[in-house]
Structures are given as C-alpha cells and as structure tokens.
Amino acid sequence: MNHLELQKRQLLNRKRMQNSSTPAKIGFIGLGKMGNPMAIRLLTAGYEVTAFDVDALAVARLVSDGASQATETSEIAQSCDFIILMLPNSEIVNSVVMDENFLKVLKPGSVIIDMSSSEPISTKKLAASLLAREIHFVDAPVSGGVKGAVEGKLTIMVGGDDSDVDRIRPILANLGRVLHVGTVASGHAIKAFNNLLSAAHLWATSEVISAGVRFGLDPKRMLEAFNGASGKSGSTENKWPNFILPGTYNSGFTLALMLKDMKIAVKLAADAGTPLILGKEVADLWEKASLELAPLADHTEVAKWIEENL
C-alpha cells in the first residue's frame, strides 16, 4: 500500500467513526503509570472506555474521569469491540486473555490490542489461538514514557494484519505516532530491541560521565557537547538532564521492566541464530545492578549505581 492509499484509508476510517452514532466501545485493562494517561486520552477523544485493574483505586480514579467500571475482565470481553491491554508481561497477558470466563464471551470480530512489552514468541502463539475463535490480535507496544503517554506523543510499534491495523489506527492515533512495523509480534520484537539499545546508551553514557566528573569535567558541559556532536542519544538528551542530574530518578519506567525487555531481545536474537555479544554483556551488567537496587527502582537509578560501584 503506497502512502497516498494509506492516507485515503485513514481518512475514510476517521469519517466512519465521526459519522457513527455509536462510537466504538473500548475496554482498557491495566491502569498503571502508562495505562492511566493513555485511557484518559481515549476518554478525551470521545470514546466509551470500560476499565479494569487489580488496583481498585486506579479504576476509581479513571471512573472519576468518565470511564465505566468493570469488576471482572469478562465484562469488558462481553461489551467491548476493542480491548487494550497495558500489562507488565506476557505471563499476565496470557492469564487475562486465556481465562475461560473471558474467552467464552469475547465477540467474534473483536480486536485485542496488546500494548504491553510482551515476548514475541508468546504473542504469535496467542494470536494464532485467538484467530481460531475469530478474534483478532494486534501487538502495539509503545515508547515515550509517562510524559509521552500524557501528551499523546508515544511511538507505537504495531504488528498485525493490514486490515486489523486499519481498524485500530484511528484509536491509536490519539495516543501518538502509529508505525505499522510488520505482522503480529513484530511490534513486540522491535520494542525489545529498542529497549536494549536504550539501556546500552544509558549505561555507556553513565560510565563516561562518571569518568568525566572524576577527571574534573562539568556533567552539564559534557551533555551539551555530546548533544551537539555524534555522541548524543535519548540518554544524553532526555534521561540524564531530566531525571539523573536533578537526582529525581522518576522517569516512570522501572529497572525491572527494562531488564525484562533486554532479556527478551537477547533471547530472541539467540533463537534466531544471531547472538548479541555486546547486548548480552549489557544485559548482564544491568542484572548485576538490579540485584543491589530496590525492586521498584526507576531504570535511571542505574546511573547512580554505576557512579557508586564502578
């Protein structure tokens, strides 16, 4: 499909939604630091959102913003055309979707959108199982952090059939930039590789700045130089100036989740016959840091650990 045809199809989908007297009903499962602002953006866009989370207070907060409450995930499966999952990992995704009470009331033709950072192989198996029941599955993990979720500026890496992606594109467009990266599980694979790169950048940047400070350099001047030269990255442009230098370490993304994604990337590459030599070493270093930091430590706290231990 060329760019012009894609634009025409997107416009047609938007017009259909605007002209519809019954807007699509969206179920949202997982109202954590990312899920809550994403669901709020859908409410603001005019969608009917029914929410579920194991944290009753998280649901109550979203209900105060206009959502409907589901006391069981099966209520969402029964009433919604599109179901968004924003959950910690594949194990939890599978436990929600493959629950018999959830499965038996899913509407044929409905679309499940997994925006979690899940394992690609697990995603493929789950999608195939659902398709046999006439349920469509799309993976759509995101990058951009809490700030991107609040502002609707996430990068959304979507894996799925063209027709399924076309159906959900108007919904996801309210959350950020939609990139259709391939078939089912492509989004989860690219997200894992992206986070491995991001983690490698942060580790290298933190080592270099720690060394520079010991030499007598000003970290702010170092970042200014890096960002005007070839050493710049998301770590030099965002994470160091906004979360590490101020000492807040509150990016909203935990070290545990970062490490999980790194391990997914390393295993995926190994299974494909292309082991990541540097990638595995970086993942091992992050795991060493994780053993000494708090269980819910923000991933930017790895810079503090490097400064204190290397």
Q: Looking up tokens 């989860």, which residue turns up?
A: 188
> Are the C-beta atoms of 259 and 291 separated by less than 8 Å?
no
Alpha carbons 61 and 45: distance in angstroms, whole number: 18
User: Within its chain, how far is the Cα of 120 from the centroid?
Assistant: 13
Q: CA–CA separation, 260 vs 118, rounded Å?
A: 9
Find residue 179's DSSP bridge partners: 157
In sequence order, the 6+-apart residues with CB closer than 8 A to the CB of 2 are: none
Catalytic hit among 124, 191, 239, 304: 191
165 touches 171 (CB < 8 A): no
Identify whether 239 is a catalytic site residue. no
Q: Give dist(CA 266, CA 192) in Å, integer.
A: 9
Q: Is 20 helix (H, G, I), strand (E, B) or coil?
A: coil
Number of CB atoms found within 10 A of residue 145's CB? 20
Structure token digits, residue 13: 């989908």
The encoded tokens of residue 27 equal 């179920």
Q: Which of 17, 95, 85 is nearest to 53 (CA)?
A: 85
Between CA 14 and CA 112 the distance in angstroms is 20
Q: What letter represents residue 85's amino acid?
A: L
Strand residues in 271-310 grouped as ranges (E): none
Query: Hey, what are 49's tokens?
Result: 């959102």
Q: Which helix or strand (DSSP H or E) is residue 84 part of?
A: strand 82-85
Give which of 285, 279, 209 is closest to 244, Cα–Cα: 209
Residues that are catalytic: 191
